[in-house]
Amino acid sequence: MSLKFQTEMRLKFRDADPAQIMYFANIFSLAHDAFEEFIVKAGYKYEEWFTKDLHMVPIRHAEADYKAPLVPGGLYTVVVQVENLGTTSFKMKYTFESKAGIHATVKMVHAVLDPHTQQKIPLPHIMRQRLSAYLGVAHGS
């Protein structure tokens, strides 16, 4: 059975456009905020993940699908899951929901690179182990 990670976020007024709907690009910042909480829960120290000593983990692809508006003051649950573990990359999925249902999904693919050559490298064993604990939690669409 896979572990599940979720966090709560209240949308700030500064994240909205003049129509009082979240500016579309801000969903990526919110997803990355959830990712930063997730990696700590998965067993990493914040400094350990974001150091360039052992590896770099840039985002190589990001996409969002909006199903309902996100509004300032709204409280959203963000369900975080590892959708796929590849040889040199992994895909994360973030589902933003409220009591009214799903508002958006975000998917981000992270590549793992050697910090000196900036070439792809296999996922380190400890990374694969920690992320695989959250692999395949079926949720949303």
What residue spans define the domains of the chain?
A: 5-132
Q: In terms of pLDDT, which residue wins out, 137 or 37?
A: 37
Position 18, amino acid: P
**Taking residues 31-44, what's their average pLDDT?**
96
**To the nearest 5 percent, what fractions of the chain are helix, strand and coil?**
25, 35, 40
Q: What is the pTM of this model?
A: 0.92
Q: Are 105 and 96 in contact (CB under 8 A)?
A: yes
Question: If pLDDT is split at 50, 70 and 90, which confidence band does 51 have?
Answer: confident
- Report the CATH number of the 5-132 domain: 3.10.129.10
Res. 137 pLDDT band, cuts 50 70 90: low
Mean of all residue pLDDT scores within the chain: 92
Output the pLDDT for position 141.
37
Rounded alpha-carbon distances, angstroms, from residue 77 to 36, 51, 95, 126: 15, 29, 8, 28
